Structure 1
């Protein structure tokens, strides 16, 4: 239901509190006190059947006794009667309720289940239960049990924990930090992180969104909302439970490496959120992002009046992965003119302990004009020689005189000591000021990480190679055959066939039930000049090395027989209850300069399939050099995943070892993501080791777990993906008016060049009719917004001429946060009007809207665009003049009743 009725939670005109007593620790009494203390301007009602008045405030016995219908009810009644309270609120047409009461339970027959059922049927939004309440300072609303009401500001705080929310309110009150809203989710019966991200993303009072997360219930909804919000404003998140690094008892290395916290981190990064490690960082990051705009780069120049403090700042920068800027020769020459002999002549710029305001100003001006840095950190240590306030004023004067280019360069300040005049000057100039050099460098890295996350959301991935062809039908047949036999694990032969179906090179394998049979199979390999590897075969043995179950480089048939006998004997002795299927026989691969990697698919209970990559081998879990990413992946995301690991450094080559084919490694990760998309029944997949050298990649050993997929998400699309994958099922072949054929498919992230070539063949007039203004330049950001789609709420379909690959036209549909309405837009190449392309695209778009479950498709068309208005009428749209703009017509089509084909 998303943002539906959330305005009644954060901007109600009237509030009714249900429950409470004269007891000092009564929750209902605390809420009423807070409402009055905050100066809530609307009507306040108090419902209490036991006390006719409390604290001199008259109550009514039942909700229906109020002479008005409240916008918001706050429920503090006992858990046993909360369903009755919600039913009474639903009968009166109350749009929203905040339930502070705890212990409603969950599951069939519980009070929580009854409340959810009643509220959903009535369209009544529920915040909680077991929550702190809601505070919206701009509306002078404090419908919570917090101790104080924070001042109005522009930070929205959403917390899983009531205690954390209350603590952060107190933190903000003590430091005069203002909020646009504070809300705790409690048990999340209805309103969740996704709903609130959607709401605050479009709330003009909110500049940044702060999240405290313990767990996510609906991962797809969260990811869709988070990605949309992060494009609009900073979203900073802190999550508890970082000690959850490993999955104990996992059956594959990939699963063992995909700890819960690491998966959350991968999800936050994919959504473009800035993750911080502690609550104090939450506000520090929001403050930095709020005062400074984004900037291109990560090179920091440091200016201080003390060499030691400057070097400490460099240490912090190095620890946090930042880059120290280099001073250009021209900048050094300029600094020589304004600084005394003995200054550092390097970065950090030490302007000596007796630096006055004039010296600060001269050095600051030089660094601001130096193109070799992207940001400047200015540090002042109070001394007996100079005035800290004068230095601060010199800094602010220099900033005030900056030209337009220089204003884009952020400046951070550390003014040690307690000089109120200095701090006041810096605050007045909106310079982020920190207590220590560590805090300042942390603020700088927050800004860098946020900017890089935003850029990543807009980047165009490289195109996949022409030979990226998979045999999904073959793979599905292998999996279905295993499931039909009741197998949990694919056998080694089926595993190699599965990998081969997706173009992942692997070593051929054969299965022997006994040592004698293993020797027979080895005879052919040895005759061909190969040595042989023998491995234990058992679904009950997760890691072969645990039972000494591998022998390599066996040169003779006798050695193979002896090795197989020993492997089988040791396995039965070590694990007498394990089902032993025999041994695997394969040629030994000798690639002495190959790096051992691990790549695979893990199954997370919240986010579903996760792609795992890192350093492989028998010590993979001890080394713990791994990174995770949520599928789907493209090549850019795959290369980023590789680059975050330590093993990526040795992939680059060293000494006499040539660089490995990193693109081949990235392609394996993309193929694994595609495999997870095509076959939800694949629950885990582990390739360890995956060898990589200059000649490419080779999977030496792999395991694949299969089973009935556990549906994690409601609605359409992949049942387990947290991010809606490319909707391949919406690829179509259409016939145009002249009999020509065309392909219609969803837009892909790599379609940047396709759109640019298309726009070059659209007239200025047609562009004006589509975008309601003249468009002269198509920036990368503009094109990225057309091609980088969240398929969970947006679709764009392009028509392509099959022979030339040229784009003929496109239609797009964007669903609102409540999945009630979708807004469409369409553009056809100017030289192709009259070929029926627009009609066909509109029909497919309407079909998609119905498939998605939308109720209405609507749009705006210029009155002068008679061709589009006529097509809309012929498709069944109703046309109405826009009440706010006489040049526009509003068109709408109800799609809920359209039957599916």
Structure 2
């Protein structure tokens, strides 16, 4: 019994109706016979017995169960469904079934059938595979790494990856979270939890099934490019997770991040006694996107003073094969002072001149001395000792110097740290103001889609695509429709008058691939050729598809842009994460070239620029030779528009722009296809997006007691500067009442966490002065992972208190919480905050002293008991200003 063997200090009981004792432990016939109520039960019974066990456990008040057994089935009518329902009725949580179990070494809890007990540490492991979890325990033991907790979640009948991310993100005993993922069940819940956790600590993920074919039957180029693993990769990137590709990389990365090693940047200096190894390390560094540090003139001069003549005088710093410990320490000291270096990789190849163990000890003493003299070492130090024995490894372990068996491992680990640092910066980046973007005409776009769906069609025709793109301000080649040859001549006349050639294309909603039947004729420059082309394509269509309805032909001007780059942009539909935005190099060979990147919508300009920058074709958008550059934001803003379309119109199932021409004049869509269908499923908030978009329907006005009105809207990420100014207009005392301690300065990272909301789990409303547009009040709500209870907070500009603004904002927040289906709103108020407590009581909150801190009052509002009266639903908001009200 692992529970007994690991030394668990709590009470343990064994329940088994068939034996009176097991492994020396007296058994009880059932849970009701126990002399105490367990907090946790670990179940290894046959599948058929588990529903009864769960019912008994829930009835006596057990908080949770770990179901190690398999074979409960899936879906309606299964044992698993019966078990889940029984637990849910009593608020009991379940881990499993079909899992390895749960281990918390700090409290000596091992509710698993793992072969070995993991050691205590500060890494959390969440695994969808019991076998992988067991293997990782063994691997960690070899690397002297310990865990704050290990959870094998199995079939995720109840507790899932997102729940555990929430837990470990808030766990003070966890420095980093390791994740082994095979599939995500609830994309929005997963993204919410991952985005929140990644803001607090490193999240490192291994995803199985990378080579699975995710889009075999894709109807568009975009769909073919958006394989399942590519979408997972986009999701991990959006959440700020660090993805690695095998268990060795997972632990190398975890060892560094779990101990707080994060470099200042991507510049690496290399110190070695073997020139060849140094060159290999530089090659790998550049291949992975790192930068070899350029030594400053001061550093070179310092190295000249301590190294023998003939040293490399460049990076890598080759100090020769006869280098002893003193030479290593002298060179390392100089490199640690170099302002151009963010990290130093110290490498050693054993020679007969100097013992490697002695050099390792000298290097670690140098690092320790530097740490003792500075709160931060000037640069991160990593080590790679070729052929290091156990004693050398132990030397680095004791000194907390990350060490690796090869230069390749060390450089890869360094670059993972760089990627984590970059992801952290990206998560906290303030996006540009939305004022610089655009205002789509969504009503017009929805009318186009609705009409096509009402006619039972799955694809928009070319004219409808032009209308859709115009509604979202996406430049597209003009398209006009002609009924017959004579009409085609009239329609083509304006283009011909401009000296443009035109294309005549068959227009039939029944024939998708027009070129297959000769339905496209290009390069027409005369009225006669246009008429003949129209007659020809219509005749070909009648001969090839006599059953098809022919609407006529379309006329388009031929666009000739000599140095235009051909790009592909689109919306692909993923069964797990919903819409994904695809960007890459376009043209007829798009799948062969396979130069693409994906991102989950919605996008801001920062995210769109990053999406473009992850492709090779992005380099062609800049100027080269005699080719002018594409305007910097012409492509990113188009991606933002597509992402907004995906958010606004869930009926757009797939969209393909190929090619999108881009040159110094901007962008122009030459050809596009749009597949439409009524969405089979929607996330909460009526959108298929895994990341819930900005809820514009909650924009409006609040009426205050004196009849005046203030503008109110959901908070946006770009509000960071306004929030910073707002906090400066709040008194120190009011800030103390809000944050429970005196706070003078608010960092960028702190305000970014306030403003960059996950609308799937949180909401904040800002009240704006109708004259200046400045923020004068903020009220916010953050729900738990089950979306049952939400904590609120409120803060007003100090000189505006007493005017009814706080009351109006709280009423709005309550209305929002009810509309979202939340069951409770709760908060904590300092006992001395009389005005807040009075308002809470007036709004119907129950109050009671906090059992652990008597200076705090816990307040809670039961939303399920509120009656939505006319005043709460309509009088608060100006009619029509907020549709949801």
CA displacement at 1:390 relative to structure 2: 2.4
Partner of 2:733: 765
Asked whether the 8 Å contact 2:188–2:691 carries over to 1, the reply is yes
Q: Distance in 2 between matches of 1:648 and 1:694?
A: 14
Q: 1:720 aligns with which of 688, 697, 710?
A: 688
RMSD: 2.5
Question: Which residue of 2 is the match for residue 662 of structure 1?
Answer: 632
1:788 corresponds to which residue? 756
Aligned to 1:615: 585
Q: 1:58 to 1:350 in 2, by over 3 A?
A: same
Instruction: Determine which of 595, 603, 618 is the counterpart of 1:625.
Output: 595
User: Which residue of structure 2 aligns with residue 642 of structure 1?
Assistant: 612
Structure 1 residue aligned with 2:244: 276
Q: Residue in 2 aligned with 1:533?
A: 503
Cα 1:99–1:864 change in 2 (3 A) is closer
Counterparts of 1:161-310 in structure 2, within 5 Å, are 161-244=129-212, 247-310=215-278
In structure 2, the residue matched to 1:454 is 424
Q: Which moved more, 1:64-73 or 1:318-327?
A: 64-73
The answer as to 2:444 corresponding to 1:474 is yes
Per mean C-alpha deviation after superposition, the further-off stretch among 114-123 and 439-448 is: 114-123
Distance in 2 between residues matched to 1:579 and 1:172, nearest whole Å: 67
CA, structure 1 residues 140+883, in 2 after alignment: closer, same or farther (shift >3 Å)?
A: closer
TM-score normalised by the chain length of structure 1: 0.91
1:491-890 equivalence runs, <5 A: 491-512=461-482, 518=488, 521-537=491-507, 550-563=520-533, 583-713=553-683, 716-890=684-858
**Deviation of 1:655 (Å):** 0.9
Aligned residue number for residue 120 of structure 1: 88
Native 8 Å contact 2:295 2:315 kept in 1: yes
Q: Which residue of 1 aligns with 2:45?
A: 77
Show the counterpart of 2:883: none
Structure 2 length-normalised TM = 0.93
Deviation at residue 744 of structure 1 after TM alignment: 0.5
**Equivalent residue for 2:408?**
438
Query: What is the SS of the residue equivalent to 2:283?
Result: helix
**How far does the alpha carbon of each residue in 1:159-184 deviate from its partner, in whole angstroms, 9 at most, with x for none?**
11222222222323444432222222
SS state of the match for residue 504, structure 2?
strand
- Contact preservation (8 Å) 2:100, 2:113: yes
Instruction: Work out the CA distance in 1 between the residues paired with 2:438 and 2:277.
Output: 54
In the superposition, relative to structure 1, how do residues 148 and 862 fare at CA in structure 2: closer, same or farther (>3 Å)?
Answer: closer
What is the distance in 2 between the residues matched to 1:337 and 1:567? 82
Of 521-530 and 717-726, deviating more is: 521-530
Report the 3-state secondary structure (helix = DSSP H, G, I; strand = E; otherwise coil) of the residue aligned with 1:291: coil
Name the structure 2 match of 1:336.
Answer: 304
Q: Is the 8 A contact 1:857 1:894 kept in 2?
A: yes
Larger mean Cα displacement after TM superposition, 126-135 or 450-459: 126-135
CA distance in 2, matches of 1:364, 1:455: 29
Candidates 118, 121, 143, aligned match of 1:150? 118
Change (3 A) 1:110 1:174: same
Output the CA distance in 1 between the equivalents of 2:2 and 2:208.
29
CA contact (8 A) 2:175 2:259 kept: no
Decide whether the 8 Å contact of 2:145 with 2:255 is kept in 1.
no
Please identify, of 266-275 and 145-154, the stretch whose mean Cα deviation from structure 2 is larger: 145-154
The CA distance in 2 between the partners of 1:411 and 1:801, in whole Å, is 52
2:199 aligns to what SS in structure 1? helix
SS at match of 1:610: strand
Partner of 2:878: none
C-alpha distance in structure 2 between counterparts of 1:541 and 1:337, whole Å? 79
> Do 1:245 and 1:262's aligned partners in 2 also have CA atoms closer than 8 Å?
no
> 1:409 is matched with which residue: 357, 379, 401?
379
**1:750/1:787 contact within 8 Å kept:** yes
Summarize the Cα distance change of 1:75–1:580 in structure 2 as closer, same or farther, 3 Å threshold.
farther
1:400-420 residue CA offsets vs partner (Å, 9 max, x unmatched): 232436525211111122344
- How many Å apart are 1:39 and its aligned residue? 2.9
Deviations, residues 87-125 of structure 1 (Å, cap 9, x unaligned): 333333332222233232222222222222222222222
Give the direction of change, closer, same or farther, for the CA distance of 1:406–1:45 in structure 2 (3 Å limit).
closer
How far is the alpha carbon of 1:223 from its aligned partner? 0.5
Q: Within 5 Å, which residues of 2 pair with 1:12-161?
A: 33-54=1-22, 57-161=25-129
* Residues 1:801 and 1:511: Cα distance change in structure 2 (over 3 Å): same
Query: In structure 2, do the counterparts of structure 1 residues 420 and 574 end up closer, same or farther at CA, with 3 Å as the change threshold?
Result: farther
The DSSP-based 3-state class of the residue aligned with 1:584 is: strand
Distance in 2 (alpha carbons) for counterparts of 1:201 and 1:670? 31
How far apart, in 2, do the equivalents of 1:121 and 1:546 lie?
A: 59
Residue 350 (structure 1) aligns with: 318
Question: What's the secondary structure of 1:750's corresponding residue?
Answer: helix
Q: 1:398 to 1:756 in 2, by over 3 A?
A: same
Aligned counterpart for 1:896 among listed residues 849, 859, 864: 864
Rounded to whole Å, the distance in 1 between the matches of 2:302 and 2:583 is 48
Structure 1 position 53, deviation (Å)? 4.5
Match of 1:354, SS state, is coil
Q: Which moved more, 1:129-138 or 1:486-495?
A: 129-138
- CA distance 1:277–1:217, change in 2 (3 Å): same
Structure 1 regions of 5+ residues with no counterpart? 1-32
1:22 alignment counterpart: none
Please give the secondary structure, in 2, of the residue aligned with 1:486: coil
Q: Contact (CA 8 Å) 1:368, 1:406: kept in 2 or not?
A: no
Residue 455 (structure 2) aligns with:
485
User: How far apart are the structure 2 equivalents of 1:323 and 1:857?
Assistant: 50
Deviates further, 656-665 or 287-296: 287-296
**Cα shift readout 1:635-667 (whole Å, capped 9, x = no counterpart):** 111111111111110011211111102312111
State the Cα deviation string for residues 385-408 of structure 1 (Å, max 9, x = none).
112222222222222232436525
The whole-number CA distance in structure 2 between the counterparts of 1:445 and 1:566 is 60
Decide whether aligned partners of structure 1 residues 772 and 322 sit closer, same or farther in structure 2, where only a CA change above 3 A counts. Answer: same
- Please give the per-residue CA displacement for 1:104-161, whole angstroms capped at 9, x wherever unaligned: 2222222222222222222222222222222222232322232222222222221112
CA gap 1:705/1:182 in 2 versus in 1, 3 angstroms? same
Shift of 1:879: 4.1
SS in 2 for 1:232: coil
CA distance in 2, matches of 1:528, 1:267: 47
Q: Aligned partners of 1:162, 1:869: CA distance in 2, in Å?
A: 49
- 1:69, 1:546 → 2: CA distance? 73
Contact 1:252/1:543 (<8 A) preserved: no
Tell whether 2:330 aligns with 1:362. yes
1:102–1:859: structure 2 CA closer, same or farther, 3 Å change rule?
A: closer
**Is the 8 Å Cα contact of residues 159 and 211 (structure 1) preserved in structure 2?**
yes
Moved more, 544-553 or 381-390: 544-553
Name the stretch that deviates more: 879-888 or 449-458.
879-888
Instruction: Write the distance in 1 (CA, Å) between the matches of 2:540 and 2:210.
Output: 39
Deviation, 1:263, is: 0.3
Q: Tell me, yes or no, if the aligned pair for 2:782 and 2:791 is still in contact at 8 Å.
A: yes
Extract unaligned runs of 5+ from structure 2.
874-885
By how many angstroms is 1:195 displaced?
0.9
User: Do 1:325 and 1:347's aligned partners in 2 also have CA atoms closer than 8 Å?
Assistant: yes
CA contact (8 A) 1:606 1:712 kept: no
Cα gap change, 1:410 to 1:544, in 2 (>3 Å):
farther
Question: Following TM superposition, by how much is the alpha carbon of 1:241 offset from its aligned partner in structure 2, in angstroms?
Answer: 1.3
Contact (CA 8 Å) 1:710, 1:720: kept in 2 or not?
no
Segment of structure 1 superposing worse, 383-392 or 630-639 = 383-392
